Chain A
Amino acid sequence: MPPSLEMRNLTKQYGTFTALNALNLKLDGGKCVGFLGPNGAGKTTTLKMLTDMIFPTQGECFINGISVQQDRKRALAEAGVLIESPEIYPSLTPNQALEMVADLRGVPAAERKDRIRSALEEVKMVDWADKRVGRFSKGMKQRINIAAALVHDPSVVVLDEPSTGLDPRGMAEVRAIIRGLKKSQRLIFMSSHILSEVVDVCDDVALIDRGKLLFYDTLANVTSRFSDGHSSIDLSFARAIPPDAVQGRIGTLPGIGSVTLLDPRRLRIKYTGGIETQERLVESVAQMHLGLVSAGESESALEEIYLSQISRGD
């Protein structure tokens, strides 16, 4: 059975304030879903209800089909959770903290040491494995928290702004970890403020504002739907792009809406079509031998959509 997360009519009210309003969202399969929204939109509230830290006023959450509200123990068994940058007992070392997590989760004693070592390697904390957590920086603690969420090889991973407190290198490493998790068919549900991070690692995005879900779709469809039917990708080149290539060879490829030179070595292509069109376009540009070195979803396209959708509610 593929991993799944479901939020059914999920509502949270604090007095007269509605923090989350009848959220219905079903995610399944191995992929990474970015959960976006401004501060106070209801992202963390959702994730906390998903992990039974707070209780819904109405509705229910399911992890792999098991109700979190009815049976938190079974529901959370296959989930790795990181919510609100938790503190680890300061007297414990990373080895001891992960040993506790693995033991309580039921990781067999024979495998525990290897899994803990793998998790610590994943977050680059092996050298600190036997030092007390109380002396760690915020970023180091966050790495241990990520390791704790992964030590039992979960099928579902729920991450609340996992890059919080990390330096740029740490943030890049977190992205690499998430990409690795995607390879092994895990479902990752990740809230984030960092749009570049979402564009980099997420397949789907859900945007929430003022407790209401504004949309949920694949990243490609979202950029296409909200950009006059066009999707955007940014291409980077090893050398300056010849001016004739921009509007000439590239601009005349089938499906192209517009081509904009962002700087001498980067350009943005707006195109119509889905992921297949994107694949064909990138292949075609690569075959032009212009020095193409990278291609990816346009971060600014998502930013434009984000801002337009959020401001629409103001």
Chain B
Amino acid sequence: MATATGAGLPIRPVSTPDTFQQITKLTRYQLYEYVRSRRFVAMLGIVAIIGAIMTALVGHYRGGLVSSNLAFYGSFWGGGAAFLVVLAAVIFGGDAIAGEFQNKTGYFLMGLPVRRTTIYVGKFFAAFLASVAMLGLYLLILLGNGAFYFGAGALPWQLPVSLLITLVYLAAVLGTTFLFSSLFKTSAYGFALTAVLFLIGFTILQALVVDLVHIEPWMVISYANSSIGNIFNPTVNWGLFGNITTTTTQVGRHSFVTVTTYTAGIAESIVIMLGYLIVTAVGGLYLFEREEFT
């Protein structure tokens, strides 16, 4: 015998929150979902392992690694943060949109009085915050080591600037990841494309642009992210708007080799990254607004 209450509760209309409130709420719940997921624990583990290896390396070799606080932070933040950004973006953003189709969780959200843009933006912020948490853990390990070798007050001014560039880079990488995730209904494609593009693809593209076209690779994001580490390097003339250095070296009696080096400036890097963020966000939103839950 069915005994569901079926009490015929009165209809009680509710007032739907505005879009900004819904984005905040969605971000909170998505972040909560991330925090409780296995991928979050796995990513924490990866960051902890990287931090442990870094701590062991510095402790064992010291030497040049701790010759100055700039060398230390340049090596470990400059070298590690960009990689962690890509890893976090792939893990938290790779299936953010495609997974909604593939796992059918999108049908749960799409029945709600929420704009598609709200879902997209809320998920983006959640992935951003989850990634920031990972970078935060890495930074804590770094600061712990830095405090041990140089004292707690010996933070170079370059570190907060590099952090800012890293956060803009994270937003740009996530924007691209979300675009790929919107492009496919299968999560694996989003994961793979983002990883390949950011770990190898853009570097190859940058080399091709410099070596074959001989122009500043301002359109390639890997060029811009070099600022994260360059800022710690006193021998690199990075400036605000970048630098082009041409060196000509004689290699024989009549032969000369001319090498042109492009260095992205801090402001230039941020503008390039913001450009990526804006273009990919508009593209991703456009796709998601038109995607059908067939």
Contact = CB atoms under 8 A, between A and B. Distances in A.
Contacts of A184: 8-11
B26 interface: yes
B37 A91 contact: yes
Contact of B2 (A53, A152, A173): A173
B6 A181 contact: yes
B108 A87 contact: yes
Interface residues of A, number: 66
Interface residues of B, number: 42
B273 to A, nearest CB: 30
B14 A105 contact: yes
A105 B104 contact: no
Question: Which of A78, A104, A122, A153 has most B Cβ within 10 Å?
Answer: A104
B157 to A, nearest CB: 40
A152 B111 CA distance: 12
Given A52-B110, A181-B6, A104 B17 contact: yes
Contacts, number: 152
A87 B293 contact: no
The main secondary structure of chain B at its interface with chain A is loop
Interface string B17-35: 1010010011001001100
Nearest to A51: B111
B107 interface: yes
Nearest to B107: A86
A36 to B, nearest CB: 22
Interface stretch (B74-82, B112-120, B172-180, B217-225): B112-120
Contact of A72 (B37, B107, B115): B115
B26 to A, nearest CB: 7
B39 to A, nearest CB: 10
B120 to A, nearest CB: 14
Contact of A48 (B8, B36, B293): B293
Contacts of A87: 103-105, 107-108
A148 interface: yes
